[in-house]
């Protein structure tokens, strides 16, 4: 189970932009990019706000009708994949790297 400490964008090398119903995330350090759609966009937005696993699950449950176990499983899968691809990490309680420079927004 993933703990309840908050998450953050992994590094200043991770950039993202939202457009046409998806979020494109690019890790310039390793040269890879990812497309997030559906609930993954909501999860990314909450991670951007330094949310914990519990906060993410509760937020998605409040916005969507569904089985809480299924929502939790979806959040855990998405977060695990984002961690695996070095796009997010655990919050340290210090300034998030996404706050260092301007955010890329359409």
What CATH number should be reported for the domain holding residue 55? 3.90.930.60
pTM of the model: 0.79
Q: Is 63 a member of any domain?
A: yes
In a domain, 42, yes or no: yes
Residues 97, 71: Cα–Cα separation, whole Å: 28
User: What is the model's pLDDT at position 17?
Assistant: 95
Residue 76 lies in a domain: yes
Containing domain of residue 17, as a range? 7-89
Look at residue 93 in the predicted model and tell me its pLDDT: 59
3-state secondary structure of 66: coil
Look at residue 66 in the predicted model and tell me its pLDDT: 78
Element (H, E) at 28: none
Per the CB < 8 A criterion, the answer to whether 27 and 33 are in contact is yes
- Would residue 83 count as lying in a domain? yes
Residue 75 and residue 83: Cα distance in Å, rounded?
A: 12
**Residue 101 lies inside a defined structural domain of this protein:** no
Spell out the per-residue pLDDT of the chain, length 106, in tens: 445 678 999 889 999 999 999 999 999 998 899 999 999 999 999 999 999 999 999 999 998 887 889 999 999 999 999 999 999 998 875 444 333 323 333 3
Nearest CA to 2 among 63, 92, 98, 82? 82
- Residue 65 is predicted with a pLDDT of 81
DSSP type of residue 38 = T
- 44/11 Cα distance (integer angstroms): 14
């Amino acid at each position: 189970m993933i703990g309840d400490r908050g998450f953050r964008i992994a590094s200043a090398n991770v950039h993202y932009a939202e457009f046409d119903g998806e979020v494109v995330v690019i890790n310039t350090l390793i040269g890879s990019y990812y497309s997030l759609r559906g609930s993954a966009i909501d999860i990314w937005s909450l991670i951007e706000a330094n949310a914990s696993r519990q906060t993410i699950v509760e937020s998605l449950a409040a916005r969507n009708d569904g089985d809480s176990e299924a929502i939790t499983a979806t959040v855990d899968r998405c977060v695990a994949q984002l961690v695996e691809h070095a796009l997010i990490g655990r919050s340290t309680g210090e300034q998030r790297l996404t706050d260092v420079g301007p955010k890329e927004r359409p």
